[in-house]
Amino acid sequence: MIFNHYHHDAQTVLDGSVRLSEHPPIVFITDGGATMQPSLLEELTPVPSPYPIRSEVEYPDVWRLCEQARELAWNPTSIDFSDLREADIPTEVREAGAEWWSLRAWMEHGAVPYGTERLREAIFRHEPFEIKQHITNFIAEELRHHEASFLIANGLAGYQSEPRAEYFKAIIPRFHDERDEKAMSFYAGLAVNTLFEQLSGELLQARYDNARFQSVRGACQLILRDEARHIQFGRIIMRRFFAKLSADDRRLLGDKFAKKLRGSLLNGVYAVVNLPPAERERAGRNRALAAEYGLGATHPDEEIAIIKRGLDQIRQDVAPYDVVIPEIAEVDRAGAAAH
Ligand SMILES: [Fe+2]
Ligand SMILES: [Fe+2]
Please report which ligand is nearest the Cα atom of 227: 2
Mean pLDDT of 86-93: 97
Instruction: Report how far ligand 2's centroid is from the alpha carbon of 142 (Å).
Output: 6
DSSP 6: B
Look at residue 231 and tell me whether its pLDDT is greater than 70. yes
Which range of 106-115, 133-142, 272-281, 308-317 scores highest in mean pLDDT? It is 133-142
pLDDT, averaged across the chain? 82
38 has a pLDDT exceeding 60: no
Of all ligands present, the nearest one to the C-alpha of 197 is 2
- 37: pLDDT strictly greater than 60: no
Reduced to 3 states, what is the DSSP secondary structure of residue 282? helix
Q: Which CATH architecture has domain 60-338?
A: Orthogonal Bundle (1.10)
Residue 54 to residue 122: CA distance in whole angstroms: 12
Distance 61 CA to ligand 1 centre (A): 21
pLDDT at 224 (0 to 100): 96
CA of 193, nearest ligand number:
2
Looking from the CA of 279 toward its CB, the CA atoms found within 13 Å total: 18
Residues of the chain with pLDDT > 90, as a percent, come to 43
Lowest-pLDDT choice from 13-27, 162-176, 319-333: 13-27
pLDDT digits (tens, 9 = 90+) for 111-151: 999 999 999 999 888 899 999 999 999 999 999 999 999 99
**What's the 112 CA to ligand 2 centre distance in angstroms?**
10
Which residues does residue 25 pair with via DSSP β-bridges, in sequence order?
A: 6
Give the closest residue to 203 by CA, choosing from 100, 332, 285, 304: 304
Given pLDDT bands bounded at 50, 70 and 90, which one contains residue 268? low
Distance 145 CA to ligand 1 centre (A): 5
Ligand 1 centroid to residue 151 C-alpha, Å: 15
Neighbouring residues of 53: CB distance < 8 A, sequence distance ≥ 6: 129
pLDDT at 242: 84
Tell me the CA–centroid distance for residue 97 and ligand 1, in Å: 18
User: How many of the other CB atoms lie within 10 Å of CB of 338?
Assistant: 10
Give pLDDT, residue 339.
41
| Ligand 1 mean position, distance from CA 322 (Å) | 28
- Taking the CA of 199 as reference, the closest ligand is 2
Q: Which ligand approaches the C-alpha of residue 137 most closely?
A: 2
31 CA distance to ligand 1 centroid (A)? 38
How many angstroms separate the CA atoms of 329 and 335, rounded?
A: 9
Ligand number, closest to the Cα atom of 148: 1
| Ligand index nearest the alpha carbon of residue 196 | 2
Sorted by sequence, the CB contacts under 8 Å of residue 71 that are 6+ apart come out as none
User: Could you tell me the distance, in angstroms and rounded to a whole number, from the CA of residue 138 to the centre of ligand 2?
Assistant: 7
Asked which of 11-25, 37-51, 71-85, 184-198 is least confident by mean pLDDT, the reply is 11-25
* Residue 6, φ and ψ in degrees, nearest 5: -120, 145
Query: Which runs of consecutive H residues, i.e. helices, occur in 43-128?
Result: 60-71, 82-86, 91-124
- Chain centroid to Cα 85, Å, comes to 28
Q: How far apart are CA 174 and CA 85, in angstroms?
A: 33
Say if residue 241's pLDDT is above 50. Answer: yes
pLDDT in tens, 154-187: 999 999 988 887 777 777 777 677 888 888 888 8
- Using the mean position of ligand 2's atoms as its centre, give its distance from the Cα of residue 193 in Å: 9
User: In Å, what is the CA distance from 234 to each residue of 100, 142, 146, 193, 258?
Assistant: 27, 15, 21, 8, 17
Which ligand neighbours the alpha carbon of 146 most closely? 1
Question: Minimum-distance ligand to the CA of 233?
Answer: 2
CB 131 within 8 A of CB 232: no
- Round to whole Å and give the CA distance between 334 and 339: 9
CATH 1.10.620.20 domain position(s) in the chain: 60-338
**Region 308-322 average pLDDT:** 91
Q: What is the pTM of this model?
A: 0.81
- Select the highest-mean-pLDDT range: 37-51, 131-145, 172-186, 269-283: 131-145
The pLDDT-based confidence of 25 (bands split at 50, 70, 90) is very low
- Of all ligands present, the nearest one to the C-alpha of 134 is 2
- Ligand (nearest to CA of 228): 2
